[in-house]
Every structure is written in structure tokens, then in C-alpha cells.
Chains A and B, each alone.
Chain A
Amino acid sequence: MSASRSERLLNLLIMLLVQQRYVPKERIRQVLYPDQAGDAFDRMFDRDKEELRALGVPIEVGQLSAYFDDEVGYRIRPDDLALPEIALTAEEASVLTLAGKVWHHATLADSTAAALRKLVPGLPLEAGSPLSISEPRITAEEPTFDDFWTATQERRTVTFDYRTPGSDSAGRRRLEPWGVIRESGRWYVLGLDVDRKQERIFRLSRVEGATRLGTRPDAFQVPAGTDVREVARRLKPATDKQPLDVLLRTGAGHALRRRGTLLASGVSGPDGADHWDRLRVEGALSEVSAEVLTLGTNAFAESPPEFRDHVGGRLDQLVAALSVPTTGTAP
């Protein structure tokens, strides 16, 4: 780390902060970059501004004079720079400590640590008693996660190769990312597919090779009122879910019971006995049928009729297949 760079960054911040008016670029150069000129100075100055902005320092750019519009100045408003007064109790401080351990991902863990450091001066001296909250963790193993996170954050377009399920080769996509979402242990990105001019959702693990971020930040706007979760729900491949009624023997079918609603107990079942429960499950016919079949004589597909016929039909075929001695080769 270069001490002189740190000095320069801090001095730049102070210089722009303590002036009431915009500081001309040339004045900044004379004081802080006396050995630099022309393009070299521009590049150095741009990098330094970028570095300060990354730290959360808002640098304003303004026109110095009404007559010469090429004269640019810079300033930092003290009220824009300062963290609003936040007072936290010891209990609230321990919540923050816990939050600092959530991200099991290098970049995001660093960002969280930087945020917590800024909050340190506002924390009470005495430590709070530990709360009864177990430590959650969020991971992101997908190599392209950082890029999609940054692109979402900075509203840059992303170009990447994507392999659609069932196809052998990957196709090039250009996306304006609106948000990232994690579900069932996987990260997805959703947004506007620029070439198809439609909302799309992509699974990060199906992105092949490297991504390319657009050079321009704020390259697009997320449509006002976009609810990422709602969009994700809308874009999910449609499964033909329907209400299906299943009879389960009392005490059987735990997996199905967890996802369904109990409608009645002590129902008369297909064997004539009345120790059955009626359960309503919302699901795809083939998938719920598989669950019912798994349970053998402990479950019965009751209604609608096509559900009943589907399960009954599969059992007929299985009985037929098993009744013929198999030779070990295809029929």
C-alpha cells in the first residue's frame, strides 16, 4: 500500500470538503498533483475520485462559470458525506455483529465489514448479551456471481454465454440486470434480455465462461416499482399445478402431509375401512402421482378423475410388466 496515495486521497477529500464552492480542477492539480499534467493527471485524478466514491464519498461535479463551460469544479457537501446520526443499543449492536458473519463470500464479506467499521463510532461501549439467533449464512459459489452483483449494483449491462437446459451449446445473451435472487441454494439473475426485448431469468450456474460488463454505469433504469421476487415468480417455468385430493392412511404419508392441507379425518377409504385422511395437495399431476405411488397401499388418488385414472393406469401397467418374467433385455 502506498502511504502517499492514502495521503493524497485523504487530502483530496479534505480539500473538497472544507470549501464552500466548487474547487477548480486546475487548483486541485497544483496542490495535490504538482508533478502530473495532461492525460496522466486526468487518469490519476479519475482513479482517485473513483476510489473515494467506492468508499461512499459523494463527489459533486459543477460548472464554475457561466461563460466558460469547460471549466469544471468539484466539491463534497459535508451533509452528503456524513452518516446520519445512528444510535444503537448494545442489543442492536450484537445484531450487527451477527450480520457481519452472514456472507461466506469474499467480496460481500468485505463490503459488510466496511459498513460495520463506519458504524463503530455509534456503537455503545459495553457489549450486549448474545441474542438467541442462530447464525445464518449466505454463500455464492458461482464464479460469475461477483459480476452480476456488480452489474445490478451499478446498472451496467452484462453479456454472457448461457446454456439453456436441454440444448447442447450456449447462446450469447445481453442483459440489463434488475436483480439477483437466491432460491433453493442457487443464484439467479433477472432483467431485460436486450436482444429479445423481454424479461428473462437466468440461473448463474448455467452461465458459461466469463461475463463482460458494460463500461458505462447507470446504463439503464430498472422499471419503477419492480418487485424482483414477483418478477421471478412470474418468469418461473409454468408447472401445471392443480388441486389434487389424496386419501392417506392415518399416520402415513408424512412427506405429502407437509405440503398439503388436511381436509377431513376418519374418512372411509378404498379398502372400506374408515381410518383414512383426506388431504388436498397443490401440485403437478405427474409429480404428486409419483408420491402417491411411492406410498403403495397407504395412499389413494381420489380426485379429480384424471388423477385417479393416471395412478390406476400406471399401476395396471406395472403389474402387467412385473407379471411377465424379465429376461434382462429390452422387450
Chain B
Amino acid sequence: MQFGIFSVGDVTTDPTDGRTPSEAERIRAMVTIAEHAEQAGLDVFATGEHHNPPFVPSSPTTMLGYVAARTERLVLSTATTLITTNDPVKIAEDFAMLQHLAGGRVDLMMGRGNTGPVYPWFGKDIRDGIPLAIENYHLLHRLWREDIVEWEGKYRTPLQSFTSTPRPLDGVPPFVWHGSIRSPEIAEQAAYYGDGFFANNIFWPAEHFQRLIGLYRRRYEHYGHGSADQAIVGLGGQVFMRKNSQDAVREFRPYFDNAPVYGHGPSLEEFTAETPLTVGSPEQVIEKTLTFRDSFGDYQRQLFLVDHAGLPLKTVLEQIDMLGEEVVPVLRREFAALRPAHVPDSAPDHAALVAAKAAAAAGEEVAR
């Protein structure tokens, strides 16, 4: 199973001292967080993509390319890449380039984006969100698999004899996740292609995502990619830890109370009771995270949100250390013991995709 960090990349004032990091500080902090995740023994770092303040990560492959050069093992990913407003041709090119530079340590997650004005800023209409996600990804999927593409669609200019360069590393496109918070169409899309499905699982009760993941699993099997329990599921989660849970609650409360998304709404106690947020000891985080399996079945990737709401970098790095030292080793062991042998233990990495491609080619050879 893969464990990692996903970052929204918000620039938020620390409510305890009124300090706001500069964009430069926040960007460097994200890189430090990614490097630290690898040092702590985590597997994945994923960055968001945003095109409005107070968020810094507008250019994910630039950041991930830099992180790739400073890490050895870490899988670089996104949460999410905007499949609606980006040109799929540019996504194909940017992520293939990143794949080469990172030696294949790349996957990415498609998302629609929920910031209304971003659509018109990029020449699109938010009411076309789903059709854009369907058509653009269909093109992206072909650009990575066909050397020469002829294309005519509704949302971009046609392509005649187009080759997206560089070609994917070893002829194998990066693994793709599709993230959605409420659209059955996106679960259907992920299932159709046999791609992964990711539920961000941070701001809503677990039940909210059960129908989406249930649909994805059922349709994954329908489209012949494997049994429902072999579908590739990723989940988010949100934690704040201290050795003693009382200390965690005391320290996190001002950040919670003023957080951009849920601040000034429910109390910390209400929100932790209702949603996957855990504020407490590492043992409590382990306990809560294990319940995700009860809600969604055996899954392949767990990403934690640890760096938002103005938390200082030092604190974030301490959270990553605790994840690496106390939480993730236990979760790896516990999840592995529970997982049946026929269920994949992680999303396929580059080596696995290369091997699968070779096996498929050999199979065709035999068939001939």
C-alpha cells in the first residue's frame, strides 16, 4: 500500500501569530515537505493545481520536476490536474516530459476543478464540466498510446497527423486516477478505462463517498478489468497528531477554528466525529484510518493532508515524521494482513506497467 502527502498549496495566515508566508516561502515549503515525505519513508507526494490566490501551485509539472531531481524513490503525483480547463495536448506533453525526467516516478489525478471563474479564464464554460472531462481525457488517453493522432472533438481545435512528444517513457503512459466528490459520471469514466478512483475523503462523512466508490468498483468489474475488489481506490485523510491527544487538540484548535474551508462553522469535536479528520495521538490516527477499509474495502493509496490552514512548516514536518515513524509502519502491516492475496497492494508503478505491457505483447505473440 502506498502512503503519502497531498497539498492544496494554500497561502494562509497562521492564526496563532498572524504571520503570512510569502509565495516564495510557501513554494519552498512544499518542496521541503515533499523531500521530507521521502526521508520519512512515505511513498507519494501530490500537489494541487490552482489558478487563483491564495494558492501557489499553478504549474505542477515545474514543481514536480524540481522535486524529482531532489528525491530518489518518491512517486510524484497531482491532486488534481484540471482536465477541464487545461489543453489535453499540453497535459500529455508535460507529464510525459516529467515521466522521463523522474525516471517513471509519476502518476496523476484528473479533476474538474470547482472554482467557477477558472473556466472562463481558460476559455471554457463550467456547465460543460463533465463533457470536458470526458472528451479531454479521451484525447489525452489516445495521445499517450497512439504515435500519430487524428482528432476532431467539440472542445479543442482538430489535430491532423499530430504526435505528442516526448513519447511516454518506455512506451508506457503514467497511471491515472480520477478524483470526484459527487459525480457518478467520473466514477463511470475511471471504471471504463480501468484507471484508479480517488475520493478526497476530508470534508465529508465517509458515507458520502461510499456510493461513488461502490459504483466505481461495480463498473470496473463490468468493463472487465478485474473483480470489483481489485479496482484501484485511493483515499484522502486529514490528521493532526501529538503524543498526547489533549496536546494535539489544544494546538490544532486555532487552526481548525480559522481554517479556510470549515472554519467558524462546526466545532473541532463535531467535525472529527462526522468526518475522517483525526486530531489526537498517532494511535488514534491508526485506529481511524483502519476504519476507512471498513467503509470502502481494501484500497491501494492513502494520502494525508497535513500542511493547510496556516500550520507552520516546522509543525508540518513533525507531522510527517510521526506518520513515517509511528503511523504508516503499523498501517502497512495491518492493511497487508487484512488484504486478500488477489487484491493489488498498490496502484501500478512504472515498472509494473512496463511488465504488464510486455506480458500483454507476449500474450499476443502466443495468440498469433
A binds B: no
